[in-house]
């Protein structure tokens, strides 16, 4: 078990160090996502009923668009520096590379959300310190990262990759967005865990299944 985890942790550590030094992912992502929800908040201002209904949709629009920019970055930096060749020639096998990349993607996106949720709470006057809301957000982000890591690695070798990633990725991530938005809206409007358990189940099954598929298919998208 330890020998399986070691390369994963090494990849995670490498990505974290690179990010701390280059600041290429988290900072621009937070900026972009905050600007997106600011614009929507501005457009919906003055209609508090409306904004309560659409608040979580706007939050997830911010996450999704910001997240896509992050996904493009995750593997394009590897491509630029020929990092994939390095990773493949290291002792890590493809599953370990997948899990390492998945965890770092998940971590980066979660940090972005950690910063965005308070901004969101202030702008839309919403109580964000609800455990369920954070749980949904984390489960949604995990599903997002599970598919995103595969597609990010795949589009790295395509022509016009920046356009192809959203085209391939968005239709697949729709169930996650629907589940996250519907359940967050329930929670924001005072719903309880029992009302959203079906969404949570859907998210958990989705995450588990796509992590498995991602781990299995990753070798096919990375081998030359």
Partner 1 sequence: MTVTMYLIFIWVPTDDVLGISQRIFYIHVPMGILGLMAFPIVFICSTTYLITKKDTMDSIAYSAAEIGALFLTIALITGMLWSKPSWGVWWTWSPQPTLTLVSWLVYIAYLMLRAYSPRGSQGAKYAAVLGIIGSVNSIFVYLAAKIWRDVHPEAVVGPLAENDSLDSSMRIGLLIALLAFSLLFTYLITLRFSTRKTEQKIERLQYEIN
- Binding site residues, partner 1, CB under 8 A: 147, 150, 154, 157-160, 164, 167-168, 170-172, 174-175, 178-179, 182, 198-199, 202, 206, 209-210, 213, 217, 220-221, 223-224
CB 159 → partner 1: shortest distance, Å?
Answer: 5
Cα–Cα distance for residue pair 15/211, rounded to 1 Å: 20
Q: Smaller CB distance to partner 1: residue 41 or 185? A: 185
Whose structure tokens read 């972005």?
A: 112
Comparing CB distances to partner 1, the nearer of 115 and 164 is: 164
Provide the 10 A C-beta neighbour count for residue 34.
18
Please, what is the minimum distance in Å from the beta carbon of residue 191 to partner 1?
14
| CA distances to 137, 172, 186, 198 from 201, in Å | 14, 18, 15, 5
- 16/213 with CB nearer partner 1: 213
At its nearest, how many Å lie between partner 1 and the CB of residue 168?
5
Nearer to partner 1, 30 or 74 (CB): 74
- Helix, strand, coil share (%) of the chain residues, nearest 5: 85, 0, 15
Residue with Cβ nearer partner 1 (34 or 153) = 153
Shortest distance in whole angstroms from residue 112 CB to partner 1: 24
> How far are the Cα atoms of 18, 92, 102 from residue 96, in angstroms, in the given order?
19, 6, 10
Q: How far apart are CA 70 and CA 177, in angstroms?
A: 17
Q: How many CB atoms lie within 10 A of CB 171?
A: 9
| Residue 220: Cβ within 10 Å count | 11
For the CB of residue 150, give the shortest distance to partner 1 in the complex, in Å: 7
């Amino acid at each position: 078990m330890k020998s399986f985890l070691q390369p994963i942790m090494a990849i995670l550590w490498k990505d974290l160090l690179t990010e701390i030094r280059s600041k290429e992912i988290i900072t621009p992502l937070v900026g972009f996502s905050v600007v997106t929800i600011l614009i929507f908040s501005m457009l919906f201002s003055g209609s508090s009923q409306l904004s309560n209904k659409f608040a979580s949709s706007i939050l997830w629009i911010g996450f999704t668009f910001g997240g896509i920019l992050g996904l493009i970055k995750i593997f394009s930096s590897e491509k630029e520096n020929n990092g994939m060749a390095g990773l493949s020639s290291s002792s890590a096998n493809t599953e370990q590379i997948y899990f390492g990349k998945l965890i770092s993607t998940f971590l980066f996106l979660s940090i972005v959300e950690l910063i965005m949720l308070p901004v969101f709470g202030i702008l839309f006057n919403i109580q964000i310190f609800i455990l369920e809301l954070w749980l949904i957000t984390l489960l949604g982000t995990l599903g997002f990262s599970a598919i995103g890591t595969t597609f990010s690695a795949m589009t790295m070798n395509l022509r016009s990759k920046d356009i192809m990633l959203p085209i391939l990725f968005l239709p697949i991530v729709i169930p996650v967005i629907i589940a996250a938005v519907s359940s967050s809206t329930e929670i924001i409007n005072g719903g309880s865990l029992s009302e959203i358990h079906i969404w949570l189940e859907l998210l958990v099954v989705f995450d588990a299944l796509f992590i498995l598929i991602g781990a299995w298919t990753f070798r096919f998208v990375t081998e030359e």
